[in-house]
Amino acid sequence: MGRLAGKAALVVGAGNRGNMAQEIARRFVAEGATVAVAGRKMGELERFAGEMGGTALPCDLTDRTQVFAMADAAKAALGGIDIAVNATGWGLLKGFLDHDEADVDAMTALQFKGPFYFLQAMVGVMATDLGGRGGSIIQISSATATIMLNDHAAYMGTKAGTDHVVRCVANEFGSVGIRANSISPGLTDTPMNADAKEVPGLFEAFRAGYPLGRWGTSEDIAAAAVFLASDECFMTGENLQVNGGLTLRRNPSREEIAASVQKATQA
């Protein structure tokens, strides 16, 4: 029997092949859960859902109506929701003074308002006093919600704000059977970072910040998600730093990154 046998899970943000959300969904299925995946790219979602024997649902997280419709559709398809993961994100890298109104609005819509709606919808489905059966809500955050990285202010600020909302949900709704936690990866080998990985020396600039000597993988995050989703977990309102000890140290400075890239380019 898997650790999630008999559980029904919803994973949002699985619309890109091989991304973190897909790895989490895959691991949930391997642990015995029935899984629905959601996002904006229905072609890839339907392909992936077919591959793992799950359900694909449309949802633009920035649209509150769509988020609540997704919750209802997932509940109908799965017979309830025991586990809900939001793994959406946009890795905007831009100087603080260069952020315009459109940047800030887009980042806030995707990484603060959207997760807020997601949390509201999942509480509505899971709360035992509303007819649900309780469950675990997991928000994918970032180490940079805690430690600094240049040219990442809007991303960092919205992730940090959502972490605090997760704590609010944990505090208010634990009595109706809901656990809510965040997971904070550091630099992770995912499709979102594919272009950065192609820059010689860029990933290597970060390695010194990791006491465990390597950057993270989606498998690392999926393993943590399984624990938070399982009945073994007696934890709520926490932010798991699943990043090899990065938050004990720091990300490299802009100058250190430039030096590493230059060195790799000239090698």
Q: What is the CATH number of the domain that holds 164?
A: 3.40.50.720
Active-site annotation holder among 155, 206, 210, 215: 155
The answer to whether position 204 is within a domain reads no
Number of H helices and number of E strands within the chain?
10, 7
The answer to whether position 174 is within a domain reads yes
Cα gap 40→59, rounded to integer Å: 5
Angle, nearest 10°, between helix axes 64-78 and 114-126?
Answer: 30
The answer to whether position 257 is within a domain reads no
Which phi and psi angles does 214 have, rounded to 5°? -155, 160
Cα gap 17→47, rounded to integer Å: 9
The answer to whether position 260 is within a domain reads no
The answer to whether position 199 is within a domain reads no
Q: Which residues contact 113 (CB under 8 A, 6 or more apart)?
A: 62, 64
Clarify whether 117 is annotated catalytic. no
The answer to whether position 264 is within a domain reads no
Output the tens digit of pLDDT for each of the chain's 267 residues.
Answer: 699 999 999 999 999 999 999 999 999 999 999 999 999 999 999 999 999 999 999 999 999 999 999 999 999 999 999 999 999 999 899 999 999 999 999 999 999 999 999 999 999 999 999 999 999 999 999 999 999 999 999 999 999 999 999 999 999 999 999 999 999 999 988 776 777 677 788 889 888 899 999 989 999 999 999 999 999 999 999 999 999 999 999 999 989 888 988 988 886
The answer to whether position 82 is within a domain reads yes
Range of 53's domain?
A: 8-189+216-248
Which phi and psi angles does 196 have, rounded to 5°? -65, -40
- List the structure tokens of 205: 């600039």
Q: Is the dihedral of CA 150, 181, 126, 74 positive or negative?
A: positive
Q: Is the dihedral of CA 73, 115, 126, 14 positive or negative?
A: positive
Which phi and psi angles does 29 have, rounded to 5°? -60, -45
| Whole-Å CA distances, 217 to 81, 194, 207, 220, 264 | 26, 13, 13, 5, 23
- List the structure tokens of 139: 């928000």
The answer to whether position 198 is within a domain reads no
Q: How many domains does the chain have?
A: 1
